[in-house]
Amino acid sequence: MNHERSRRLFERASGLFPGGVNSPVRAFWAVGGTPVFLARGEGAYVWDADGNRYLDFLGSWGPLLFGHAPPAVVAAIAAAAAAGTTFGASTEREVELGEAIREAFPSMERLRFVSSGTEATMSALRAARGFSGRDKVIKMEGGYHGHADMLLAAAGSGAATLGLPGSAGVTKAAVADTIVVPFNDEAAMRAALAANRGQVAALIVEPIPGNMGLVPPKPGYLEALRRLCDREGTVLIFDEVISGFRAGPGGAQARYGIRPDMTCLGKIVGGGLPLGVYGGRAEIMKVVAPDGPVYQAGTLSGNPLAMAAGLATLRQLRPEDYPRLEALGARLEAGVRNAIAEAGIAACIQRVGSAFTLFFCKGPVTDFASAKLADAKLYAEFFHGMLRRGIYLPPAQLEAAFISLAHRDTEIDAFVSAAHETLAAMPVLR
């Protein structure tokens, strides 16, 4: 594959942006080599600036449930753009999308649109603190909720990839009230809450973590979080930016039957445009301005294009889509398990529905400590082997890959066959 144009673009980008990118993991530092510059996408495929075609399993990190450029979404965005891209005033589409979200997520009795997942989690925590009058928050080790100061402690995703325990520029004071607890460890959570009785405003968790690789919750764990939060008067926040409309039509909360106090959404709900949503129990959301004293605002909040893209996406969803995603995921998982066994390597695939990670360790991966046992160098080798075979994956071990409704059995089988070849060509693993 020729990547000359990507190389030249990266040279220019490196003189402009930190690391040559506008979001750290895109820099390929975790896998080495020059980032591929993408030029266009259609369905399950993307093309780079040199015209090479890839079967896409990155899916822009999660938003593209229908693949790239689904015609209904593109048409809705074009129509909305022609009628004005932003008003800084309320529009009918906000009401329509808000109602569609609440129908799918009944726990979001009141909600608010923002422009990114980072804004959603940051604002949800502020509301939880304003509501409870408490300062402390609990997050999971390896959990990632965007880049707000108080959540950049033991964060997953790019911070984990770069090995950053926190972030420079975040003051000690900003994270002084952030308590970090290992995921899937009920006893540790009970102890953390007991040690901070009456002080913990909120517990924020990705119910299916996707930023330390894909890590399913142990049976009963989310139920335990619900019980503990009820007992301690702590607001339980589900960060469903990845799992919302991905783990099922009602996200992880419907899949596992847990009603959180607050929920954060992003990615799929914005149909590929920048959109975040936070919401929850009406009595909590009542503290948000102008109803209450917790301030939060945004010029582009409820942006007409994002509303149109989100609405077109949710209106396309059919109940049968999720069994289909499950079947595609199961087919891929079975094929990859087989490839791992044939290659005789220490690797495992973890999957929930249409999201998965191939970890280069024996597994199972249940928390950040076990996720970090995965061999990032071997993942890098696998990533490049797959890329050479025309498969585009997340360029870092501790991330999730995504299957879309544009993928068919053919695309899944292409992935499996490339994985067979790539794993078999990794003698270092035997």
Where on the chain is the footprint of ligand HOZ (CB under 6 A)? 23, 25-26, 61, 157-158, 211, 399
Cβ neighbours around 22 below 10 Å, total: 11
The active-site residue, picked from 136, 139, 267, 372, is 267
**Residue with Cβ nearer ligand HOZ (162 or 254):** 162
Tokens of 299: 């010029």
Whether the CB-CB separation of 114 and 276 falls below 8 Å is answered with yes
Tokens of 73: 């979404």
The active-site residue, picked from 48, 239, 261, 367, is 239
The active-site residue, picked from 48, 136, 139, 144, is 144
CB of 162 to ligand HOZ, least distance (A): 11
**Integer Cα distance of 263 and 237 in angstroms:** 6
Tokens of 319: 């109940």
- Sequence length of the chain is 430
**Separation in Å, CA 187 to CA 191, 194, 225, 241:** 6, 10, 10, 26
DSSP 364: -
CB of 166 to ligand HOZ, least distance (A): 16
CB of 253 to ligand HOZ, least distance (A): 20
Tokens of 4: 């000359």
**Integer Cα distance of 222 and 112 in angstroms:** 25
b/e for 141-179, b at 16 or more Cβ within 10 A? bbbbbbbbbbbbbbbbbbbbbeeeebbeebeeebbebbb
Q: What is the DSSP string of 70-99?
A: -HHHHHHHHHHHHT-S--SS--HHHHHHHH
**Residue with Cβ nearer ligand HOZ (18 or 133):** 18
**Integer Cα distance of 61 and 373 in angstroms:** 23
Is residue 377 part of the annotated active site? The answer reads no
Cβ neighbours around 180 below 10 Å, total: 18
**Residue with Cβ nearer ligand HOZ (213 or 310):** 213
User: Among candidates 399, 407, 324, which has minimal Cα distance to 45?
Assistant: 407
Is residue 267 part of the annotated active site? The answer reads yes
Catalytic residues, by residue number, are 144, 239, 267
